[in-house]
Structure 1
Amino acid sequence: MSAIVPFTSQTPFDKVVADIREKGWSIIDDFFSSEMVDALMGDISELDNGYMKQAGVGRSNDHQLALNRRRDYIRWIDPITPARTAFLDAMRELRLEFNRRLFLGLWDYEAHFARYEEGAFYEKHVDAFKGKSNRVLSTVLYLNEAWVDGDGGEFVLFDEHDENVELGRFFPQKGRLAVFLSEEFPHEVLKAQRTRHSIAGWFRVNNNIQNNLDPDQ
């Protein structure tokens, strides 16, 4: 276990579990300790774009670049630093809590750093198509320092029954965590006016899809 204390509360999971049960999405500030968020920001800040890759759309053999749809850089997270280890350990605890309280049958979690340079965006999309992916819950953790009005990069969440109805526009402020059902909620990232950092991740179930497991990453 990492020496970094991950949470700010003795009962960190209550609100997010209740929100997912009641409405399928949750926005929580200060879910993780400032120590861990600062350490994660330090990790991504040290990554040159040359050590990241231009994000695309689709997965495995269907993966392709689509710069008209998204323009972020990503790097998948492995437990190779204290901060990344602490984050993955914390998300494992959250996964077990979702399973214990909501019986979701989640079996793993994968995540990547995301960097949106000035002008970058990600158009409206869903993270999983019904019956075609093992992704159940999506997460986004924001790492940005001193984000202010005019910096752009807002996370926009749309209604699961009418994708033209906004549920909210959420400022990508440091330490904010978004969690939502991957198949249900369209969402987008508005154009960033300066470099924007986050961690995107997915809790998955171990279902066979056409006799194949949903591929990692």
Structure 2
Amino acid sequence: MEEILDRISAEIYSNSYVVIDGFIEEEFRVALLEEQTRLLNEGKFRQAAVGTGDKKQIRTEIRNDQVLWMEADQLTPLQAAYWDKVDQVRKAINQRCFLGLKSFEGHFARYPIGSFYIRHLDQFNQVPHRVVTVILYLNDSWSQEDEGALRMYFPQEDGSERVEDVLPVGGRLVVFLSGEIPHEVLPTKKERISITGWLKDID
């Protein structure tokens, strides 16, 4: 784990993002996926919205995934175990990058077949305290034909953009600076499951 944490902090420092395969053990991934499935079957998920406060609204032309927010004081044992791992990531990034990260918020995210989330930034005027985005994929299997990639955009000095697509392979962790990397979820041909969250600079 120490080697993984060192790599995460080093690549966030130098590249603003990192992709880590096999971040969690397979048994843990399966257990998290089974818990997500149970919560979904219990009707706990809700249509994802955009905006916050009075400006919060469901806009399916922007995103049409479903989410279940995790409450920090009501975590299941599995969720708490994952939060502990994210807290190790938080401490490692703080030690190397001095970002003043203090807390984490996150939710299960489910993209049904055909769903997507158009290009956006995770940090904007209404949520300025999201500093680092942390995504863990829980899918049993994934291939290029399933599509549904996370597409990230990187501005180049000549004014162009470099594009990188990351498939949501189970156990894969993606970490990036929330205010620097525009990204989108491309339409998926298979149900797509993750835990998506943000390390914040407030408690």
Question: Same-fold call, TM > 0.5?
Answer: yes
**Structure 2 residue aligned with 1:149:** 144
Higher helix residue share: 2
Cα deviation, 1:118-159, whole Å, max 9, x if unaligned, reads 111000000012696101001111111121222121110001
Contact 1:160 1:186 in 2 (8 A): no
Q: 2:177 matched to which residue of 1?
A: 181
Equivalent residue for 1:111? Answer: 106
Find out whether 1:194 has 2:187 as its counterpart.
no
Q: Distance in 2 between matches of 1:132 and 1:31?
A: 27
TM-score, length-normalised on structure 2? 0.90
- Residue 58 of structure 2 corresponds to residue 65 of structure 1: yes
Superposed counterparts of 1:12-161, under 5 Å: 12-48=4-40, 50-78=43-71, 79-129=74-124, 133-160=128-155
**8 Å CA contact retained: 2:13, 2:96:** no
Q: Which amino acid aligns with 2:110?
A: R
Aligned partners of 1:54, 1:143: CA distance in 2, in Å?
19
Identity %: 36
Unpaired runs of 5+ residues, structure 1, are 1-8, 207-212
8 Å Cα contact 1:158/1:164 also seen in 2: no
Q: Distance in 1 between matches of 2:99 and 2:2?
A: 23
The CA deviation at 1:32 is: 1.8
Name the amino acid aligned to 2:137.
Y
Moved more, 194-203 or 165-174: 165-174
Distance in 1 (CA, whole Å) between partners of 2:197 and 2:109 is 10
Structure 1 vs Structure 2 CA RMSD: 2.0
* Cα distance in structure 2, aligned partners of 1:165 and 1:111: 29
| Residues 10, 160 of structure 1: alpha-carbon distance in 2 compared, 3 angstrom cutoff | same
Report the alpha carbon displacement of residue 188 of structure 1 after superposing the two structures with TM: 0.4
**Is the Cα contact below 8 Å between 2:10 and 2:96 reproduced in 1?**
no
Aligned residues: 199
More contact order relative to length (CA 8 Å, sep ≥ 6): 2
Change (3 A) 1:131 1:184: farther
- Once the 2 structures are TM-superposed, how far is the Cα of residue 165 of structure 1 from its aligned partner? 2.0
Tell me the secondary structure at the aligned position of residue 38 of structure 1: helix
Identify if the C-alpha distance between structure 1 residues 10 and 169 changes in structure 2 by more than 3 Å, giving closer, same or farther: same
CA distance in structure 2 between the aligned counterparts of 1:130 and 1:190, rounded to whole angstroms: 24
Q: Give 1:201 shift.
A: 0.4
* SS of corresponding position for 2:39: coil
Tell me what 1:4 maps to: none
Distance 1:65 1:150, change over 3 A: same
* SS in structure 2 of the partner of residue 159 of structure 1: strand
Amino acid across the alignment from 1:187 = H
